[in-house]
Each structure stands twice: as C-alpha cells, then as structure tokens.
Structure 1
Amino acid sequence: MAIPLSADALIKALRAEGVTVVEHNGWRTHNRNHKGPWGPVNGIVIHHTVTRGTDNTVRICRDGHTNLPGPLCHGVIAKDGTVHLIGHGRANHAGSGDADVLHAVQRESYATTPPRPNQNDTDGNARFYGFECENLGDGQDPWPAAQIEAIERVAAAICRRHGWTAKSVIGHKEWTNAKIDPRGVSITTIRARIAERLKHKPSAGSGTHPQTLPVGSPVSLARLRTAAREDPSAPQSQTSYRSGVLTVEKALHAEGLLAEKWIDGSYGTKTLAAYAAWQRRLGYSGADADGIPGRKSLTALGTRHAFPVYS
C-alpha cells in the first residue's frame, strides 16, 4: 500500500523516466474525490479507449459523459507516445473488481498473470492509477511502438517511485471479468518490458515534445508509387526504389504497422498492406486505402518522421 503521489511528484517521476507530458488545464484538481477515497494505492490499470483521434480521446476522458462523469483516468497515452495528464485523485476508470486480484497485486505474489477475476466486490477507483490508451479496442487497430514504450515508461516511473515491481501493473480485463481492455496488446509482454526497465536507472527526458528523428532520405512520390505497383508481383526481394522504400518502411515500422523483418527496401505485399493500414488510420477507405501512396498520405507520414516528399 502507498499514499498516492502528489501531482508534482507524479510529473517529476514521469519526466525523469523520459515521458513526453502534456498538462491539461486544471488536471491537478480534476477528480471525483467527493464520491470516495483515492488511496492507499496498490498499482496501475491500463485501459483502451474505444475512440479515434487524440483530441477527441482526451476530451472524452477528461469530461466523461452523463452516465460516467470524468475524469475517466489520470492520463491518456496517445498513439504518438505523448501522455496527456487530465486528472489527479479519484477517477472513474477501474470500477469494481475482484478482491483476490487486489490481494495478488498487493503482495505481487503471482507468477505471470494475476488470478482470473470472477467477482466484482472491490472499489478499484480507490486503489489504482489509471491510464487510458488511444485505441479502438477492436483487435485490429495498431498499437504503435511509441505508444507501447510510453506505457512502459509511465508504469515504470510510478512503480519506481513507490518501490513496486512490474506485477503492480495490470490490464483492466485482469481486474474485472466485465471488461476486455486492453485488447490487441499483450499486458504480460508489457509487464516484462517494465520489469526490464526497472533493472536500470531511469532514462533522462526533457518532458517536452521530442523532435522526431529522421529515418531516411527524401522520398520521390512518383518513384514510390511505381515501386508499390511493381514490387508486389516481382521476384522475392526485388526492389525498384530501395532508398525511398526503406525510408517509408522504417516509418511504418515506427507506427507499429510493419514488422521489422519486412524492412528490406522492397515494396512487397507486407509493405503494401502496412501502407494501406496507414491510409485507413488517416480516414481513407475503399480504393483510397489500397496501399499505393498518395501525396497527402505520404506527406503526413513524412511530417511525422522527418523525411521530405518530392514529386
């Protein structure tokens, strides 16, 4: 058990762990403390939002809705890895869960996963920090690498300050049998990453939005479109525009859309599918999300990953 970190201590811990933080107006006093206690705290619950778009997600999690007033968490972890702090104190995020799970988290006594929840008899809002992750929760929406790393850093920062291990971090679905989040990502793997991070000193971070590092050279839209049309049907590993394709593949990998093993400079079927997923993320559908780059979608990718686009 532990007394919750003060707002100042929380943000200091996050920044020390290299987390990019955005403080939203009033977050330090935005809470549901008038409805019950917050603390002593025992761990951290990770959620998905079932929303699209960071601004929209932050607004919903901050304000809540008629049947569930905000804040719905303490922070929103966006797809780009930015953590938006929106509340401090009791939040409507965990709800009721299983006392056996709470005891296992308190003791950090389970092996790989906590006991399966089968009753909802304990107030989780009093006992846990809560972080909502921007994701549709359909099992198809990607979890970008930057977002996974931010979850790892946020959880490690709080665990480090409280003297907890990674076993104090659970998914919402591990707290109650009434929820499925976070879906599409392995909370067991995330715990393993947190455990590894906690073996080392926190990595320094400025706490301001980082400049995105370049992943390659300027990309020709025309040559990339030709590669997208020719490479999928060409012999294995044949490429018609290696440098430009590599740049785009690295960016797609950073977005969590392409496995590292497919970064090979060939615009094959895996790259085609990954780029189509990028187009869908931007709101395109049907023939407009066929994996063949267009100027708007490629420029958007280049803006996020610091490579210029030319004709």
Structure 2
Amino acid sequence: MATPLSASAFLAALHNEGVQVVEVGNWETHNRNQKGPWGPVHGVMIHHTVTKGTANTVDLCRRGHSTLPGPLCTGVIAKDGKVHLVGYGRTNHAGLGDPDVLAAVIAEKKPPADNQATVDGNRHFYGFECENLGDGEDPWPAAQLEAIEKVAAAICRAHGWNERSVIGHLEWQPGKVDPRGFTMDSMRDRIGDRLGGKTPTPAPLPTPRRPVVDLSQLIAAARTNPQASGQPVTYAGVRTVEAALVDQGLLSKRYSDGHYGTTTVAAYAAWQRHLGYRGSDADGIPGKTSLTQLGDRYGFKVTA
C-alpha cells in the first residue's frame, strides 16, 4: 500500500532503471482522476494491446475510443523496448477485478485464481499496455520483455515492493487473457532477479530539476494569436504554466494543450485576481510577480 509516486519521481525511477522513455504530450497531467480517486496504489498491471504498429498503438492508448476514453494506461511498451508515457494517475486499464487477488498483491503473495469482478483496479494499479496482437503467435522481442521487466522493477524498487506486486490483467479480471505469449510467473522471476531476490528498500530518488519558464517568451506566446490545438506550440513553457493553472482549479484539463489561447488568458486572469490584482493588472498576461508566485506553488522557476 502506498501513495502514488509524483510524476517526476516516477520518471526518475524509470530513468534510474535504464528504461528508454518517450514522453508523449502532457502525459504528467493526462488522467481520469475526475472520475474517481487514484491511490493508494498496490502494484503494477501488465496488458497486451491487440494492436499493430507503435504510432497507432500509442495514439489509441493516449486518446482512447468512443466507448472507453483515454488514457488507457500509464505507458505503452513498444516492441523495440521503448516505453511511451501517455498518462499519469487514474487510467482506464484495469476495470473491476477480484478482491482476493488484490489482497494477495497487498500481501505480496502469489495471486489466487480470479473469479470475481467487484474491486476498482484503476484506482490501485499502475498500468502498462504492451504492443502485441495477443493471438499467441505475435512474437515478444527480447527488448520488449526486458523493458517490461525494467519498468515493473523500477516501480517496485521505488515503493519497496517485491515482484509479487506485479500481475497480469488475466490474473485480475475473469475472462481476460492478457498478456498472452509469456507467463506472468516467468516475468515475476525476471523481476525478482533484477531486484536481487528480496524486497528492496526504497532508494532515495534524485531531486528533479524544476522546470524553467522564461517570462518574455511566455508573454510573447500570450500576446500572439495562438495556433489551433493540435498544431506545434510556440513556446513549450506554456504547458508548464497551464498545468499549474489546472492544479489550481482555474483551467480545464482539456485546454491544457500548450496554446496560450483565450481560455488560458481567462484562467491566468483569474489567478491574478486571486492574488488581488484588478482592472488592467488582471488581463491574463503574466507578470513577474504573479508568475513567480504561481511557480513557487507548483514547482517551476521563472527567468526574466
């Protein structure tokens, strides 16, 4: 049982384990937390995608589809061993599962046969989708299996869990078969070997560098007619500021897209009013004092 790692601590854990990471869009704030709590977390769940092609698979897992909104997992483990991070927090990957399996994961024991679907797994597991057709014939390259091992070990190491905190979807929810093509017992053996055959003591993670936002570039982005969502952004620091405005409750996550449009202007103006500014001083164009106060609260530095 544990509080979920922060996004920065999670990323550091993956890097420390030697995982090849690809960060996709606003993965740190892309989640389904508005639909229910995330945490306490108890383990890692492995899936296969029943898809072909990394780009298509990553896009599907990030966006979801008409009957199941994204993100559909924390990360996509591609056949080449790269791990594409698409979401962080509650994601639509596990669904309802067996309470006896959850109890076994918490106790770090071998999971029993699953025969119930009554417990919310999206709340309690990090989820990873692995690019594979799931037909029992599509191969699992060595690089991909090693990446699964490293990802699971990284999270276990960070939380002080052993390999029995890692399960497959087929062990959680009746009727599921994923991952198909290797056994979870064999994967847990690999993870256990990587962890040294014992429950690790959580290692202190390096203090992540604070993002830096350049005030002049941010102002230029705010005063320029932004390009449409989906087009390249003019300044990457906009995403950092928008994420802070989302956390402050002033901006909807769907508008946190790296474009300093009218909605972001209105959200920043609300932040300025929150600080006591009025009139033209609360026009949604960042100033050094208001931006520094936002950065101090949400973990980024401001340069002039």
The alignment's TM-score, normalised by the length of structure 2, stands at 0.64
Deviations 1:18-38 (A, max 9, x none): 000000111000000000011
Offset of residue 109 of structure 1:
2.4
CA distance in 2, matches of 1:147, 1:5: 24
Deviations 1:258-299 (A, max 9, x none): xxxxxxxxxxxxxxxxxxxxxxxxxxxxxxxxxxxxxxxxxx
Identity of aligned residues (%): 66
Offset of residue 91 of structure 1:
0.1
Offset of residue 186 of structure 1:
1.3
2:254 matched residue in structure 1: none
- Select 1:180's aligned residue among 177, 199, 206: 177
Helix, strand or coil: the match of 2:167?
strand
Offset of residue 170 of structure 1:
0.3
Offset of residue 178 of structure 1:
2.4
Residue 151, structure 1, aligned to residue 136, structure 2: no
Q: Alignment RMSD, CA only?
A: 1.2
Letter in 2 for 1:51: T
CA distance in 1, matches of 2:153, 2:108: 15
CA distance in 2, matches of 1:72, 1:22: 16
- Select 1:133's aligned residue among 121, 124, 130: 130
- Select 1:192's aligned residue among 172, 189, 192: 189
Residue 58, structure 1, aligned to residue 58, structure 2: yes
CA distance in 2, matches of 1:160, 1:109: 17
CA distance in 1, matches of 2:193, 2:45: 19
Deviations 1:35-55 (A, max 9, x none): 001100000000000000000
1:76 matched residue in structure 2: 76
Residue 2, structure 1, aligned to residue 17, structure 2: no
Residue 27, structure 1, aligned to residue 27, structure 2: yes
Helix, strand or coil: the match of 1:125?
helix
2:13 matched residue in structure 1: 13
Letter in 1 for 2:6: S
1:251 matched residue in structure 2: none
Deviations 1:134-185 (A, max 9, x none): 0000000000000000000000000000000000000000001121100111
Letter in 2 for 1:183: R
Residue 124, structure 1, aligned to residue 111, structure 2: no
* Superposition pairs of residues 211-290 of structure 1, within 5 angstroms: none
CA distance in 2, matches of 1:148, 1:109: 23
Helix, strand or coil: the match of 1:135?
coil
Deviations 1:201-233 (A, max 9, x none): 99xxxxxxxxxxxxxxxxxxxxxxxxxxxxxxx
Helix, strand or coil: the match of 1:183?
coil
* Superposition pairs of residues 201-216 of structure 1, within 5 angstroms: none
1:105 matched residue in structure 2: 105
Residue 171, structure 1, aligned to residue 198, structure 2: no
Deviations 1:77-112 (A, max 9, x none): 0000000000001000000000000000000123xx
1:289 matched residue in structure 2: none
CA distance in 1, matches of 2:53, 2:109: 38
CA distance in 1, matches of 2:149, 2:10: 15
Gaps of 5+ in 2: 204-304
2:274 matched residue in structure 1: none
1:238 matched residue in structure 2: none
2:158 matched residue in structure 1: 161
Helix, strand or coil: the match of 1:118?
coil
CA distance in 2, matches of 1:108, 1:15: 25
Letter in 1 for 2:15: R
Residue 142, structure 1, aligned to residue 139, structure 2: yes
Offset of residue 189 of structure 1:
0.5
CA distance in 2, matches of 1:109, 1:172: 16
CA distance in 2, matches of 1:195, 1:119: 28
CA distance in 1, matches of 2:109, 2:117: 20
